[in-house]
Amino acid sequence: MPLPHTSASAAMTDVPASILCHPHQFEALLPGDWAASAPARKVAWLSLWSQWFFADALISWADQLCSQQQACPLWEFNGQLALNAAGCPERWHLRGEPLCGLTSAQQHQLTDQLICQFIAPVCQTLSSLAGNNLTVFWSNAAVRLWQGMQQADSKAADVRILQNLFSASHFADGSINRLKAPLRTVKTPDGGDKTERRHCCLIFRLDEHSKCASCPLEKCGKH
């Protein structure tokens, strides 16, 4: 399976962002040798795809929510996704006008909307093509939200809304919080501290990708 890579000279293709809500349309974007690939590699490729996509969409979203009290309506799936020659997302263009001057109550409401109407359907689309493995995609989304929260925290912004989200065991509707505690600190054999993911992203299964520094697995052979 071809590996994603960033190249300024790579041919780019624009597709509607709404394709992420339609598994059959999204399936048309998959590599040509997808059907012949092993299930483990399929999950890994889609995991890497989601990491790129959520990095572009969610890091800035979380930062702006906390530091600027504004939120872009990602759940409307406006605009176009620019895909590179490997089929992976480079940029989401024209994703909608941000909602500004949000009160605390509105920030909570829009965070719930982001989860239910954006993260959940995107993860469901990817999972449907990855053997119904939801965990890896929710974990990737959570890590990017956490990174956005860290950016806002570095600006001395109020990040309690996301801190509370990451500590809750359930969402407001009673469903399990799949975004809970995406990262944790553990002790290393030499007594130091290491930040690691709660769930492995599985991209080590792809050629030319090794175990990430934050991988929670002690061993990760190629499959």
Q: Given a cut of 50, is residue 173 above it in pLDDT?
A: yes
First to last CA, the chain: 14
pLDDT of res. 220: 55
The pTM is what?
Answer: 0.89
pLDDT of res. 222: 44
Task: Determine how β-strand 80-83 pairs with β-strand 193-197.
Answer: unpaired
Q: Given a cut of 50, is residue 202 above it in pLDDT?
A: yes
pLDDT of res. 214: 73
What is the arithmetic mean of pLDDT over 165-182? 94
What is the arithmetic mean of pLDDT over 148-166? 97
Q: What are 18-60's pLDDT values in tens digits?
A: 999 999 999 988 888 888 889 999 999 999 999 999 999 999 9
* CA–CA dist 67, 60 (Å, integer): 10
CB atoms inside a 10 Å sphere around CB 187: 9
What is the arithmetic mean of pLDDT over 111-136? 95
pLDDT of res. 219: 59
* CA–CA dist 179, 73 (Å, integer): 19
Q: What are 123-132's pLDDT values in tens digits?
A: 999 999 998 8
Q: Given a cut of 80, is residue 188 above it in pLDDT?
A: no
The length of the chain is 223
CB 147 within 8 A of CB 178: no
Higher pLDDT: 32 or 143? It is 143
pLDDT of res. 3: 36
Least confident of 23-27, 107-111, 154-158: 23-27
Q: Given a cut of 70, is residue 176 above it in pLDDT?
A: yes
What the block records as the tokens of 145 is 């939200």
Q: What are 67-106's pLDDT values in tens digits?
A: 999 999 999 999 999 998 888 899 999 999 999 999 999 9
167 CB-contact burial (10 Å; exposed 0-12 / middle 13-18 / buried 19+): exposed
Q: Given a cut of 50, is residue 4 above it in pLDDT?
A: no
